[in-house]
A and B are shown apart, each in its own frame.
Chain A
Amino acid sequence: SQQGEEDPQALSIQEGENATMNCSYKTSINNLQWYRQNSGRGLVHLILIRSNEREKHSGRLRVTLDTSKKSSSLLITASRAADTASYFCAAEETSGSRLTFGEGTQLTVNP
């Protein structure tokens, strides 16, 4: 399969809690990008982490990358109801700009 894997497939938390999503991929990569999608709409770009980086922050988002384990994690701190969405990781292969997506994590933040 060309798909990566995301864990968990679904996550339900209360507002104010932190949410952690994990992603694994199979190929050598230029970078790994995280996206959010609401109800079958377009993908919103959240953050990009390059293959030579180990950690990156953007607002309430923290992303880590472990190229030796071919895995990444996305942490959303102090979650809000508006964070409810599906989250996808996408690995950009070294052969070009082709993105290989994980299966996604459905995050539900309860008010």
Chain B
Amino acid sequence: KAGVTQTPRYLIKTRGQQVTLSCSPISGHRSVSWYQQTPGQGLQFLFEYFSETQRNKGNFPGRFSGRQFSNSRSEMNVSTLELGDSALYLCASSFEWRGSEQYFGPGTRLTVT
């Protein structure tokens, strides 16, 4: 089986712009979660989706949003980018909503200048 894929792998944006990141889960997996990783804050939970429904959301401002499609693929969007949004954004997929192994993609490295 192919693993979790994330596109793009690298992205450079300017403050104030918006960005959309994409995640394709492992075939058959219905749950997708997003995490932000920075040197200062570590790995922080953004949100999770199961069957196109957002089940949980982390403590991030409303500029961060996401969605899941019927084929389980997910996108996250960050509007009005700030320098502090520079991070590695990781997507994880799992078969069930909870209790299953969660497999991560390679991440999208976002740099905001």
* Docked complex: B63-113 residues within 8 A CB-CB of A: 88, 90, 92, 94, 96-107, 109
Chain A residues positioned under 8 Å from B106 (CB to CB) = 41-42
Contact with A along B31-61 (1 / 0, CB 8 A): 1010100000011110010100001101100
A101:B43 contact, CB within 8 angstroms:
yes
Chain B residues in the interface with A (C-beta under 8 A): 4, 31, 33, 35, 42-45, 48, 50, 55-56, 58-59, 88, 90, 92, 94, 96-107, 109
Q: How far is the CB of A13 from chain B (nearest CB, A)?
A: 23
Contacts across chains A and B counted by CB atoms under 8 Å? 75
Q: Which residue of B lies closest to A103 (CB)?
A: B42
Taken together as a complex, chains A and B put the C-alpha atoms of A101 and B94 apart, in Å, by 17
Q: Which residue of B lies closest to A41 (CB)?
A: B106
Given A2-B59, A92-B99, 17 other A-B residues pairs in contact with their CB atoms under 8 A: A30-B98, A30-B99, A33-B101, A35-B104, A42-B104, A42-B107, A43-B104, A90-B102, A92-B98, A96-B97, A97-B48, A97-B94, A98-B58, A99-B43, A101-B43, A103-B42, A104-B42
* A: contact size bracket: 20 to 34
B98:A88 contact, CB within 8 angstroms:
no
Chain A residues positioned under 8 Å from B35 (CB to CB) = 99, 101
